[in-house]
Amino acid sequence: MQEMQALKVHSYLSQPEIQKLLEGVEFIIIASPSMMAASELPLHFTIILNTSEVLPETVKPQILEKFCREYAITETKHVLSNLERVAFALTTQETPMPHHIIDDAEANTIPWTLLHVIDFLGDSDGFKEAKDGFTGWSYSYN
């Protein structure tokens, strides 16, 4: 079995760097192993839409359904769909790592921007690496 190393965060992007990074980005999808009990769904997904606009409640389920169809996500649970704080960390990876900030104290120490976040547990055969214990993210450009 492969030993997993935690990604080391070297720094976080500043506000101007975040704005430049997001130019042309439509959304970011993150898949990681679920940290919930074994009886829960195995994957944790975070979809970050490049918008700070409040989405109508009637549209939110349609957006989630679209992503589930496109990424063959077969089940979902514990869905959060709101404007949330997102920071971007520089690591050894090629693209900055999006970081959904939940803790107020952390939000006071690093730069972030408000974006629409859809966060949920799910299952899909298309994310083998996440099922094997790895976290990954992908930027989609328009």
Dig out the tokens for 12 from the structure: 């976080």
Q: What percent of the chain has pLDDT over 70?
A: 94
Residue 40 main-chain phi, psi, to 5 deg:
-85, 175
pLDDT confidence bin for 1, thresholds 50/70/90: very low
pLDDT of 130 higher than 90? yes
Query: Residue 138 is inside which H or E element, if any?
Result: strand 136-141
pLDDT of 98 higher than 90? yes
Q: pLDDT tens digits for 34-81? A: 987 766 799 999 999 999 999 999 999 999 999 999 999 999 999 999
Sign of CA dihedral 47, 49, 53, 58: negative
For residue 17, the SS3 value is helix
Query: Residue 130 is inside which H or E element, if any?
Result: helix 128-131
